[in-house]
Structure 1
Amino acid sequence: MQRDKDTDVKARDGNQTLARGLRVMLAIADSGRGLSVQQVGDLLGVHRSIAYRIMQTLADFGLATRNRAGLYVPGARMATLAGAYLPALRDAAEPVMQQLANKLQSTVLLFVEQHREAQAVSIIEPTNASYHISFQPGMKTPLDRGASGYSLLAARPPTPDEPPAVTLARQTGYARSHGEVRPGAFAVSAWIPTDETPTRATLSIVTYTEEIADKAGVEIRRAADKIGRLLDRAYLEAG
């Protein structure tokens, strides 16, 4: 199994066991189908017995569980952790995302900037469409490829070496791409204007229909602005 370069971080003195557990948590969350004890051992470069003890510890805390195929998958407690991440942002964004998903009959995703990637923290599907694109929670895209990454870069000050799509996004208020992350799919994204989140966030729609993508820019810019206002108001009222 190939190691994830972003999670293959050298453990500081005294926290090797914690680092191993965190790497495994991320790996099983990203795997889609789960990991066997042998795969965990290969990932960490340790014997099966050590890998088994790590998985048992995660299972004891509800962070992993073993399915009928004998693979370890995320435990129920992982959902608690996911729900605890940026709750104010998700609370403000998700109702707006549902309205946008139904209006454009397309999947809407909320991304945040994480290291050198855009990572989805919420995915809303339309309730009135016979077909739409589905995504796995936690999906990631590079910042230098695809509308979501371009949008997050456009929220920063300009740089001389930025991709042309980022410069254009800053001018139009939204980024657009075609087939850069998923073959054949159009993506349109607009950053959320707020200083009330610890990381930049962006709203994206993904569709195979060019006609929808053509009209999505104004709609998603309006939705992102609305989320920004809701966040600012919520923090102001919280005082």
Structure 2
Amino acid sequence: MRSYPCLIIGLSHEGRAAYVKQHIREGDEITLQRSGEPGAIACFHGPNCIGHVPQGRQWVSRSLSEGDRHQIRVTGFDTNDRGELAGVEIEITILGEEGPDSDPGAKSVISEIGDEIRILAMVAAADGLVAAPEKALLEEFAARRAHEMGIAVEAGEIEHAVRWARRKSADSLDAARIIGRLATEHPAALPVMLEECELMAEIDGKVGHEERHVVTTLRNLLQHGLKLAKDRNG
């Protein structure tokens, strides 16, 4: 079985946001149904429609057409910069899927580079406040890496991925695990991450004690990852 992150949007209609706030918790089950428009997928919590899958996530429609069985769980809640509920984060598991290749359309910013953004968010949040230049750098990094990875980015997806990464900012143990995986799967990302971490610490014009400590920790982990990658390849 494989799982893919996705998002339920359209919460501004018919009191859906109020229903979500009152009745839905992480771990709740969601079901999918086709709606009237071609390719449109409505999302239900029990009998209640709470929104829909973004139109760009056509892999969900294809999966339904192919008769796949799904398990969908709520994993989080996305709020915009005004503090308003903007989406319900879900994980779609295709039951019985064992093949090595997934639908390329299932790739998203979070699924492919979410952990990299989490590491940068660790630096940005080290002093307790993510300044506007730090947020902008997170978004610029996410957009550039998504382009390099060939991800078809939807409107608002970069901003959501950055908000998600800030909520799930890595700690030292997470960072060690992520960097260890990158050393095996994407070693070319490590020097990029090292440079971006240094830049993130300096972009707001000051480097506090906490930021310096986080950057030192990440620098050591990244350099160790680079050594592992070099030893593996050489």
Q: TM-score w.r.t. structure 1 length? A: 0.28
Q: Which has the higher contact order (CA 8 A, sep 6+)?
A: 2
Q: TM-score w.r.t. structure 2 length? A: 0.29
